[in-house]
Structure 1
């Protein structure tokens, strides 16, 4: 079973548990309403069993939330695909995607990431994230507007930054520090957030400077989870790459970019320069 599949299944189980708790029910109560063994309720909530569409419809009714059935079924449809269409993933809103990422980041011990055009979600402020998600929903047009819930889930993902034993090695192309995808005051706050990450025991933040000699072009962003799989986001698709060759290839790309990256005081100066330009331009 792929890590991606299991992460999404655990996230679906967490949402089932959330609906049960919101209804004021314990495991025994909802099992009685459904006519199921309590062990099935436990397996579904912990992601050890894959629900059926019928299971999800029944759960939504039992939890007095029939309107959530479509959301639950939308999450189920996306479990197995290695190439995930954003339009399909976002059909029931942005929160299900963020919930899945929470699980994926909680499962990872080490990550290497690179972003060329945007501040990584792992480092985003709520205001910056809100502007990005609003614009993404507008781009996809049919995406339900659940921005506040999606932002909360993205912020929850960031809890892993403060857990001992984890390591996040992240590179950002300097151009992303200047990309005004939000109001200037929001971008200033976002850049201040980046400065606060420098020196954290769990974070190695590098900035790839404009004008630095490079062995390859910056290309697109990507994330390597535990040196086992790579996640690549394009405009319309999310790719999950798990072959040894793909992981090794992206590892070499990260290494090449890292050779040009600035860290600590040099990174601080690049962020400060961007902050001044954003604030006073």
Structure 2
């Protein structure tokens, strides 16, 4: 969780406390407000202290309970402001993977140049349908979310049409470890590696592989994507981060550039892919 996110959540909590203390009928104690809402007393102070994330429903109930329902829109706008940057998987995947893919499709379609780094999986823009299917299933099992696998796969495949539009450029860096990761059956990975090998030489794709034995300028960490140098989309286990302030975007670009210095391209990248392919057997 970012410091900016924490500060924004604390600021929202402080505003909620201010509304409790300025209730039209007289200031309310935390206990009194908890009784009105039917909540545990501790929830009041966790929300006010920014230690528990508020939901839109929490904010509406709070505004009504403190006798100031017209403040809900303000509170909701604050919540939306920082949630647009930190998108928890729990909330995003409540309706399945397809809505997440649709959001990505919209963002990617608006971009002209994309820089991506993936340390554990093949980038979604270069995945086969079978490989993508197994990735979606793994995450649905992990988070216990709705299985809308086929819909999600179709949405991800639709996004790949971006690669066949003139004037676009996809700069992808992949750690060699991702070429060996059996998050799918070996036969599926073999087909995926063949697909990856086939995109080398496309005029819209620049694919770099970071060999396992390469000297690294920075340690390989979580994957991230930079769209047109204006927004970064990074993944963590609890959430997806959409970051658009200039300093943060610049930091991620420096990381990408540092990783690129260790990458191999063209024939050398093909050789790395073929090594992984041979390791799977016939």
Q: Scaled by the length of structure 1, what TM-score is found?
A: 0.70
- Once residues 281 and 141 of structure 2 are traced to their aligned partners in structure 1, the CA distance between those partners, rounded to angstroms, is 27
Of the three residues 167, 171, 174, the one matched with 2:173 is 171
> Which residue does the alignment assign to 1:147?
149
> Which residue does the alignment assign to 1:114?
117
Of the three residues 212, 215, 220, the one matched with 1:213 is 215
Residue by residue, what CA displacement relative to the aligned partner does 1:36-75 show, whole Å, maximum 9, x if unpaired?
Answer: xxxxxxxxxxxxxxxxxxxxxxxxxxxxxxxxxxxxxxxx
Determine helix, strand or coil for the equivalent of 1:165: coil
Q: CA deviation at 1:140?
A: 0.7
Determine helix, strand or coil for the equivalent of 2:166: coil
The correspondence of residues 1-281 of structure 1 with structure 2, limited to 5 A, is: 81-141=84-144, 143-279=145-281
Q: Unpaired segments of 5 or more residues in structure 2?
A: 1-79
> Which residue does the alignment assign to 1:11?
none
Aligned positions, number: 204
1:79–1:93 CA distance, 2 compared to 1 (3 A): farther
1:244–1:80 CA distance, 2 compared to 1 (3 A): same
- Once residues 205 and 78 of structure 1 are traced to their aligned partners in structure 2, the CA distance between those partners, rounded to angstroms, is 35
Q: Is the 8 A contact 1:129 1:151 kept in 2?
A: yes
Q: CA deviation at 1:78?
A: 11
Q: CA deviation at 1:277?
A: 0.5
Determine helix, strand or coil for the equivalent of 2:232: strand
- Once residues 277 and 257 of structure 1 are traced to their aligned partners in structure 2, the CA distance between those partners, rounded to angstroms, is 25
- Once residues 172 and 178 of structure 1 are traced to their aligned partners in structure 2, the CA distance between those partners, rounded to angstroms, is 11
Q: CA deviation at 1:236?
A: 1.7
1:78–1:176 CA distance, 2 compared to 1 (3 A): farther
- Once residues 128 and 262 of structure 2 are traced to their aligned partners in structure 1, the CA distance between those partners, rounded to angstroms, is 26
- Once residues 242 and 79 of structure 1 are traced to their aligned partners in structure 2, the CA distance between those partners, rounded to angstroms, is 12
Q: Which has the larger radius of gyration?
A: 2
Q: Is the 8 A contact 1:78 1:84 kept in 2?
A: no
> Which residue does the alignment assign to 1:65?
none
- Once residues 82 and 172 of structure 2 are traced to their aligned partners in structure 1, the CA distance between those partners, rounded to angstroms, is 27
Residue by residue, what CA displacement relative to the aligned partner does 1:10-61 show, whole Å, maximum 9, x if unpaired?
Answer: xxxxxxxxxxxxxxxxxxxxxxxxxxxxxxxxxxxxxxxxxxxxxxxxxxxx
Q: CA deviation at 1:80?
A: 5.4
Q: CA deviation at 1:144?
A: 1.2
**RMSD over aligned Cα atoms:** 1.6
- Once residues 171 and 114 of structure 1 are traced to their aligned partners in structure 2, the CA distance between those partners, rounded to angstroms, is 5
